[in-house]
Amino acid sequence: MPIIELTNIGKSFLFDGVSKTILSGVNLRVEKGRIIAIIGPSGSGKSTLLNIIGGLDSSYEGDSVIDGVRLKNLPDVDLSRFRNEKIGFIFQHFNLLDHLNCYENVFLPCYFSSNPDFGGIRERVDFLFEKVKLTHRMKQYPPTLSGGERQRVAIARALLMKPSVLLCDEPTGDLDDSTANAILELFLSIRSEMNVTFVMVTHEERITRIADEIYAIRNGGLFRV
């Protein structure tokens, strides 16, 4: 069974009272442990598709099954729990909380777990800081970190609950070349060691170079490149 299975996904928005189709008839099957890159111009629907896969958007046509769970019409409480425990999100602008230190930022998803094991989670936080090579920064606050360091903290946070899928929205867009390449090397290491599936939307060619499969969104459809 694929880890991600989208069937005939459609999505429209209202602009000034006029309906505009963003996605139409999108089908996608992704096997566990793959790295998928989705490319397309701004406004083509890349982030919208990522939101559907991640359960952040439930007002769409078609069917979305992630890690064996059909997301459409899932009760809000169950959907929130699923997102917290099965999906990791990594964003271009990091989305860290500046008033929490890095350790607290990474620990945060534990508080939304249905059955948190705080002792085990603390061990995992320590492990993840070692994995992203930021043990020496865990008590610092995000504004004191470089962009690459903040993205590493965000990656550790995304991995805390041992997700099946990592969804990345322009994950290297705010980073310089050397830092971006280091983050991509980290992604490859995570995929290898943890068997996590990556879906990344991007404008950057560097990300497509590490992808197992590349798809493009054109005129609302999704096409293998």
Bridge-based pairing of strands 18-30 and 69-70 is unpaired
Q: What is the pTM of this model?
A: 0.92
Residue 173, pLDDT score: 85
Q: Where are the domains of the chain?
A: 34-58+75-213
**If pLDDT is split at 50, 70 and 90, which confidence band does 15 have?**
confident
Scan for tokens 């050397």, then name that residue. 178
Bridge-based pairing of strands 197-202 and 165-169 is parallel
**If pLDDT is split at 50, 70 and 90, which confidence band does 140 have?**
very high
Residue 132, pLDDT score: 95
Residue 97, pLDDT score: 95
Range 24-48 average pLDDT? 94
Give the pLDDT confidence of 60-114 residue by residue, as tens digits: 999 999 999 999 889 999 999 999 999 999 988 889 999 999 999 999 988 877 7
Beta bridge partners of 70: 65
The two tokens of residue 185 are 């090397």
Give the pLDDT confidence of 40-50 residue by residue, as tens digits: 988 889 999 99
Range 189-197 average pLDDT? 94
Task: Output the average pLDDT for the chain.
Answer: 92
CATH of domain 34-58+75-213: 3.40.50.300
Residue 126, pLDDT score: 95
Closest CA to 187 of 92, 90, 95: 90
CB atoms within 10 A of CB 95: 14
Range 105-129 average pLDDT? 85
CA distance 127 to 217: 37
CA distance 37 to 199: 6
